[in-house]
Amino acid sequence: MPRFAANLSMLFTEVPFIDRFERAAHAGFEAVEFLFPYAHTPEELRAQIDAHKLQIVLHNLPAGDWDAGERGIAVDPARVAEFRAGVARAITYAKALGVPQLNCLAGKAPAGVDAASLRATFVDNLRFAATELKAAGLRLLIEPINPFDIPGFYLTRTDQAVAILDEVDASNAFVQYDIYHAQRTEGELATTLQKHLARIGHVQVADNPGRNEPGTGEINYRYLFAHLDRIGYEGWVGCEYKPARTTEVGLGWRTALTA
């Protein structure tokens, strides 16, 4: 049975972020993930995970001005220094919080930059990040995101992510495979998971349409959860969905779809 981690950027959002750790623990989660920790000190977050006996399995590198609509800066040739400073900041948090892996959001392709420059910048930044993370004992992830939710996002497909990782050539760099984004962009979920299992470091879930909890849409999660067991996926499964009502009301899917 998969091990599920609550994404605190999507779940329990009716309470302040710092209070979501307690809610996750009370809902039966043993692990959490979230977009960014940087609005709080490592000490504040450490107190929460210690108090509620949780582990943090993932957060992102700094990704620019999120509130202004930025979704990463790793492909932007004009912001390499900012990206690299963000890597150092993320490592500081990850080491303090016991986080084993960090996700790098590629970002939207900036206007006026040719495709070759975008790819070269992304590859160079990933090589830098992978080297720094490896020295800290951490893994690096990159995540394809569908272009319907984030128009202009640079990294959209699994095969594109794998090809970029081949060029980066770092032993600690993997794909973050979000089943919701993959369904919207390419489908072939079970086959892709099996084909690229060795390259996938983390899996996330939400259903489609609506990005609500598993079991509310077209994706056959009962099959996929059993499939993850069959093919030997050993990582966490991040619950990065928008609850149709409240998180607690919708959590029955965890047993209904894994029995």
> E-strand spans in 128-182?
139-142, 173-178
Which residue carries 């993370």 as its tokens? 133
Give 153's DSSP letter: B
The residues assigned a catalytic role are: 143, 240
Please, is 105 exposed, middle or buried when counting C-beta atoms within 10 Å of its C-beta (0-12, 13-18, 19+)? Answer: buried
Distance separating alpha carbons of residues 39 and 105, to the nearest angstrom: 18
The helix (run of H) or strand (run of E) holding residue 85 is helix 80-97
Cα–Cα distance, 103 to 251 (Å, whole number): 26
Going from the C-alpha of 223 to that of each of 60, 156, 189, 219, 259, the distances in angstroms are 29, 24, 11, 9, 11
Distances (CA, A) of 205 to 82, 180, 218, 244: 30, 6, 13, 14
Q: How far apart are CA 251 and CA 27, in angstroms?
A: 8
Going by C-alpha positions, the residue among 55, 57, 59 that lies closest to residue 102 is 59
Task: Enter the tokens of residue 258.
Answer: 């894994």
Residues 6+ apart with CB under 8 A from 201: 101, 139, 141, 174, 175, 176, 235
Strand partners, 173: 140
